[in-house]
Amino acid sequence: MRENRKEKILDTAARYFSKYGYANTSLEEVAVEVGVTKPAIYYHFRDKSALYESVLLVRLRRLADRVERAVETVGETEEKLRIYIETFGSFLQKNSCFAAILCHEFADNGQNMPDSATRELSRTLGIVTAILNEGVESGTFEVENPMVIQMMIVSTLIMHQTTKDLRKRVATQVGGDFRLLPEPDMENLSRMLAGDILKLVRKGEMV
């Protein structure tokens, strides 16, 4: 029962953090929605920062574990990079609150992200770095800055997940005598992004 309540607190808090950000999330409102008192939250988490850390760590660990396992299932370097991107996108699609929380953190330059969370986030950067290094060593990839490639991947996927309504509003204002192409879903976007990133890093295909 207590574990179920703890999970409910974490899931509810994730929705509030995703909508309002860390600073504007109220534990009183989280408690009311869960159906507990504020002290009941403190039974599981010492304060709001500890609750936020748990919300981040659960999702960051799942993400890193997911992409790590997915990459290990393939042998070709190019396929590893493709699987990395597509798995990252699939995870964000299934965890929309997480994408929004990361968006808040990136906008705030990570000021509320604890070191434990940045270490977990660095695991995904380590995975893509290893893939790129493997490609360079095999002569498949050009030398690229892993952080730049990671930013291209993460920012594109997170923006797609968190700006759907805004994109629709902007699209209606586009003038000109041309037809806007149908917007891709996350799965198709991840495939398109993987193809574009591969074109960028492949040796001999740099523009």
Cα of 92 vs its chain's centroid, Å:
5
Report pLDDT for 10.
94
Q: CA-to-CA distance for 179 and 172, rounded, in angstroms?
A: 11
User: Between these two residues, 175 and 142, which has the higher pLDDT value?
Assistant: 142
Tokens of 50: 């500890």
Residue among 139, 136, 144 nearest 200 (CA): 144
Report pLDDT for 69.
96
* Domain extents in the chain: 60-201
In the chain, count H helices and then E strands: 10, 0
Residue among 94, 76, 200, 69 nearest 157 (CA): 94
| Residue range 77-126, pLDDT digits in tens | 999 999 999 999 999 999 989 999 999 999 999 999 999 999 999 999 99
Query: Any residues with CB less than 8 A from the CB of 132 and at least 6 apart, and which?
Result: 81, 141, 144, 146, 149, 201
Cα of 196 vs its chain's centroid, Å:
19
Domain spanning 60-201: CATH superfamily = Tetracycline Repressor, domain 2 (1.10.357.10)
Query: Any residues with CB less than 8 A from the CB of 123 and at least 6 apart, and which?
Result: 60, 64, 68
Q: CA-to-CA distance for 194 and 191, rounded, in angstroms?
A: 5
Q: Are 41 and 11 in contact (CB under 8 A)?
A: no
| Residue range 125-141, pLDDT digits in tens | 999 999 999 999 999 99
Q: CA-to-CA distance for 123 and 129, rounded, in angstroms?
A: 10
